Amino acid sequence: MSLDYKTLAQTIDALTDGETDEIALMATVACEVHHADARFDWTGFYRVVAPELLKIGPYQGEHGCLVIPFSRGVCGAAARSGQVQVVADVDAFPGHIACAASTRSELVIPVKGRDGKLIGVFDIDSDQPDAFSQEDALELNGILVSVFGQLAVDQLNA
């Protein structure tokens, strides 16, 4: 069964309408997306807190890594390159950071604020291999653009 992205987007739009606080928006998006699909084992944001440095933000699931440099892992690659990362097998990704031993695949989307600056990345982990499709990446990117105000990428790195 495919995720009903139209309904998810409408729900998130209704919940975030008029809100400008990025942390509140991140918390709401993480919660709604996490509970929308059983494939999503860990769902959350890593925020840009210093040059080339991400720190954990609002999330759903087990504990995540607290700090991720742009130079490491799938989240770092998304932040560094500005491109969506769809990783079918995290063990095959060079420099993957194993924040959770159960993670098999990952989807990471760069997130830009209304001023066009990178504010963080949206990270979804799955305990299933090859859990994410290009449709997931495109639809979730669209939701993030709607909530945070800027298109993060125009190309997907599959």
Give pLDDT tens digits for 89-148: 988 888 777 777 788 999 999 999 888 899 999 999 999 999 999 999 999 999 999 999
Torsion sign over Cα 13, 15, 16, 19: positive
The pLDDT value recorded for residue 152 is 43
How many angstroms separate the Cα of 133 from the Cα of each of 78, 84, 143, 148, 152? Answer: 16, 12, 16, 22, 18
Phi, psi torsion values for 74, nearest 5 degrees: -70, -40
The pLDDT value recorded for residue 101 is 76
Token match 């959350």: residue? Answer: 44
Question: Domains in the chain, ordered, with CATH?
Answer: 5-157 (3.30.450.40)
Tell me the percentage of the chain whose pLDDT exceeds 90: 78
What is the chain's Cα-based Rg?
A: 14
Residue 137 contacts residue 107 (beta carbons within 8 Å): yes
Tell me the percentage of the chain whose pLDDT exceeds 70: 94
Q: Look at phi and psi of residue 4 and say left if phi exceeds 0, alpha if psi is from -120 to 50, else beta.
A: beta
Residue 43 contacts residue 124 (beta carbons within 8 Å): yes
